[in-house]
Structure 1
Amino acid sequence: MTALHPLFALFIFPAGLFLILISFFFEWLDRKLIARFQNRQGPRFLQPFADIFKLLAKEEIVPIGVHRTLFMALPIFAFACVMTASLYVPFFGFKAAWHIRGDLIIAMYLLSAMTVCLGMAGTNSINRFAVVGATRTLTQLFAYEGPFMLALLMPALVAQSWTISSIADYASNHTWMIVTQPIGFIVAIIGLIGKLELPPFDAPEAEQEIVSGALSEYSGRGFGLFKIAKNVELVIGLALITVFYLGGIVNPLLFSIKMVVLLCVIALMQSTLTRLRIDQTVGLWWQAGAILSLAQLLIIILVRVR
């Protein structure tokens, strides 16, 4: 019975069931904020829960012309990668469930695996909309992944550690890095929006053009797992930015307020900015994001040398 207690605690908090439920709340809050910004009512509180329960209860239809094993395995693998990444991230003022040296690199690669799974899911299909969506997903990956990684590595460079818990401890005892590294903070926010394929970086799943993009052939449990994985990735991204740039690990209430404020900023950007074409995303953001990140990195290096 004693051996089961750590397993139960790990499942409930900070990963597992608790994190999934929190991700539904953040999805509802994001949709509600966007609706209010656009002078609409928005969904009711239980709408995301009802949507996911309906998807998980529906039959999984495997289309003709796909590799069946790969089609079924990709949503599970994407979900597993995101949930594994969550083990290394502090949530709501509590320390991470697990930490090892260099876990920041591990977490970033696990989060990137989610996007790769989306691309593979689209290219595994003969549906032209899915193939176009997958092509856009993988193309956009090169635009935001580099700047986003640099934005998370800059606090690590200042803290002289690649371990998330060590960076969090450093951020808790020093000036907020949003003050000392404002460019990195902006790049991290925009990079997270691109990573989640939210407006204005939603060309890979533009409903008016390519239905649901890479996931056009998915339904039921597969689509539901991808949806849960994206919601959890949103919470992980907000938690990482909060820990690195907004004062590290603090009491749960203040930490939650910071995450909600960041979500409000993301929702406001989704409501006010128009969709960028894939060539605009790659051309403009890759150049601007990479240059800004490298400029901030150069400033950090120069300051440390002095």
Structure 2
Amino acid sequence: MSWGQPVRIPADIEQEDRIVGGFTARQLAILGGTGGILYTAYLIIGDRVPLAMCAVVALPVGILGVLVAIGRRDGVPLDRYLLAAVRYQRSPKSLVPAPGKAAPAPSWVAARSDPRPAPLRLPARGVANDGLIDLGPDGVAAVAEVSTVSFALRTPEEQDALVSVFGGWLNSLSGPAQILVRAERVDLTETITTLVENARGLPHPALTDAAHKHAAFLADISARHDLLRRQVLLVIREPSAKGRDAAAARALRRLDEAARLLSACGLTVRPLDAPATGALLASCFDPAAPPTSEIEFAAQDEVITRGERR
């Protein structure tokens, strides 16, 4: 039995199909639309305008159509990039949390020419008690923090084993998954306080003095530098076609499978509970805020005031 020649799969499986002459259907539609507009304009005004004048006007339009069809910016097709820019310019810039529509401004607010705020639509509806993020019609998402390993310090055989185990986990994926690497601010206040308090019970004065010097060293570093640490997150998403409970069970089961498979690489997968997930989502809105800052929320009808420092 002959299996025939092997089929080569392109590296980019989401690449659009080439229809004619290396152009995709989208590019052909743009080029055809540009040509149709120019031809229609020539049929309308060609008898009344000299041919040279028609060519002068049609040349920039044709070049613009070709650029929009084949051009790219930051890996995005130029037509989609321009459409996103137009959509951004037309979309409201002032967004407020509102379940339905934004409430009208109070009468004492001088609403001159400022546009009315629009409701803020967030993909996350809330965080459940089990730490899962409710995405509404898009299902649920489970977030876990993953430890790291030193790949460069391993031998070639160990590196091959790590890649093999990681590739096996990728091949076992049965749904959407995201690996997010983010920088998180580090607050050493608690560490310094604990170090100073424990220094009092050390058996030798030299150890106490060394502990105080180390605490001063950490305080100096924290005051002069913005300390960051790398955090690796694994996000598992499951659609809620069969109900939220079934999606939550599948998401948690996939996290357990990831923890079991990645443990062979020396990685620890720790699912985030509800408080940790809520803190993670809150930090995404203001990444530069110190982790110890307290956030106060105003009531719906409460007037927000800001004091000035003197």
Q: Classify the TM-score, shorter chain.
A: under 0.3
TM-score of the aligned structures, taking structure 1 as reference length = 0.22
Normalising by structure 2, we get a TM-score of 0.22
Between Structure 1 and Structure 2, the one with more strand by share is 2
* Structure holding more helix per residue: 1
Query: Taking CA–CA contacts closer than 8 Å with sequence separation of 6 or more, which of the two structures ends up with the larger relative contact order?
Result: 1
Structure number with bigger Rg: 2
